[in-house]
Amino acid sequence: MYTHNGEDVFVIDGHIHLWDATEENIVHEGGEQFIQCFYDYHTAFTPEEEQWDMDTYRQYGAERMIQDLFRDGYVDMGIFQPTYLTDFYDEGFNTTDQNAELAEEYPERFVLNGSFDPRDGDEGIAHLERLKDDYDIQGVKLYTAEWRGDSKGWRLDSEESFRFLEKCAELGIENIHAHKGPTIRPLNRDAFDVGDVDDAATSFPDLNFIVEHVGFPRVDDFCHIATQETNVYGGLAVAAPFAQNRPRKFAEMMGELLFWVGEDNLLFGSDYGIWEPDWLVPAVMNAELTQEERAEYGVELSPDVKRKIMGENAAQLYNIDIEEKKEQFRDDAISQEFELGDSYEEASAD
């Protein structure tokens, strides 16, 4: 467990991937553009001594992922967010079925999410039902900018999308993670726009809409949606690295997010493997608001607030009992492999 100023912090990384961007898997030039754009984000924000070479970045594999998250990265649990991109990658970039291999090996450590694309129609509904039957998924990750044939995206507030959201509600898939962040080559900026979350969240009040990347760079638009819709949350993947490279910008974003969205509706995510939690978790935990920022926004980025963001809010959405997990992790497979049991024993005692 991560310790901050002598206090234990249970970290649930709400945004992780295990992808395959090897040249053999790429079937469209967009696949190469996509992974090169990811790598640009990686090198732009990652400390130089932490940067990966491109070959590693294309496919780092399950063994490295386990080490980076749990041995070195302070993460206690991770939530898989699949990204299919099957027009770009022969076997998909990272699919639910692929992620399930690792999630089923360490079920106590991972939450496995599914996905849907309303352009798939009846086949897509059947696929969603299969994911629920096979894996009992509690959430889906949606990529509204994904290309499919001649289509270069879809909207969350469309009639076709509402059909799938109704199916999610029927199946008990309550957590809807929508990618709404920076443009990634060659995908289109407009398809990432956060505006389509508003009507969807209003129309499905019993579902939770987690806007991944807090709509960046359209953070203001996101904030004004989330402040009206109490079932809208912000995922901090992409925003979090600013704590390392542009701390004043990070403080500005956190001030706005805490003011409009609130401390109970924000979730930490590293976006692994774009970035690694070993440097990202400390960067976020050590971030502070200045006295002037605290006065302007009327909010605090206190240790209690950070604990909510780093794990407690995700635990609430996914019905995770943190104290039970601490007990379980005293002797689970990951703790045995990396000799982590003592840290959970001490945390349980506290």
Instruction: Give tens-digit pLDDT for 113-137.
Output: 999 999 999 999 999 999 999 999 9
Output the 3-class SS for 45-80: HCCHHHCCCHHHHHCCHHHHHHHHHHHCCCCCEEEE
The pLDDT of residue 1 is 87
The pLDDT of residue 31 is 98
Write down the pTM of the prediction: 0.97
For residue 303 the two structure tokens come to 């240790």
Q: How far is CA 151 from the centre of its chain?
A: 25
The pLDDT of residue 349 is 58
The pLDDT of residue 345 is 79
The pLDDT of residue 350 is 61
What do you get for the CA distance between the two ends of the chain, in Å?
13
The pLDDT of residue 346 is 72
Dihedral over Cα of 80, 86, 91, 97: its sign: positive
Domain extents in the chain? 1-112+268-286+302-344
Query: Are 241 and 283 spatial neighbours (Cβ–Cβ below 8 Å)?
Result: yes
Residue 87 CA to residue 212 CA, distance in Å, equals 22
Residue 70 CA to residue 174 CA, distance in Å, equals 27
Find, among 47, 37, 96, the residue nearest to 283 by Cα: 47
Give me the half-sphere count of Cα atoms (radius 13 Å) on the Cβ side of residue 293: 19
The pLDDT of residue 277 is 98
Find, among 350, 17, 64, 41, the residue nearest to 183 by Cα: 41
Dihedral over Cα of 253, 258, 262, 268: its sign: positive
User: To 5 degrees, how large is the angle CA 200–CA 264–CA 335?
Assistant: 110
Pairing of strands 7-9, 2-4: antiparallel
| Residue tagged 């079932």 (tokens) | 231
Output the 3-class SS for the chain: CEEECCEEECCEEEEECCCCCCHHHECCHHHHHHHHHHHHHHHHHCCHHHCCCHHHHHCCHHHHHHHHHHHCCCCCEEEECCECCCCCECCCCECHHHHHHHHHHCCCCEEECECCCHHHHHHHHHHHHHHHHHHCCCEEEECCCCCECCECCCCCCCHHHHHHHHHHHHHCCCEEEEECCCCCCCCCHHHHCHHHHHHHHHHCCCCEEEEEHHHCCCHHHHHHHHCCCCCEEEECCCCCCHHHHCHHHHHHHHHHHHHHCCHHHEECCCCECCCCHHHHHHHHHCCCCCHHHHHHHCCCCCHHHHHHHHHHHHHHHCCCCHHHHHHHCCCCHHHHHHCCHHHHHHHHHC
Residue 255 CA to residue 250 CA, distance in Å, equals 8
Query: Are 116 and 139 spatial neighbours (Cβ–Cβ below 8 Å)?
Result: no
Run means of pLDDT, 10 residues per run, the chain, 350 residues: 93 98 98 98 96 98 98 98 98 98 97 98 98 98 97 98 98 98 93 96 98 97 97 98 96 97 98 98 97 96 97 98 96 96 76
The pLDDT of residue 90 is 98
For residue 122 the two structure tokens come to 């009846």
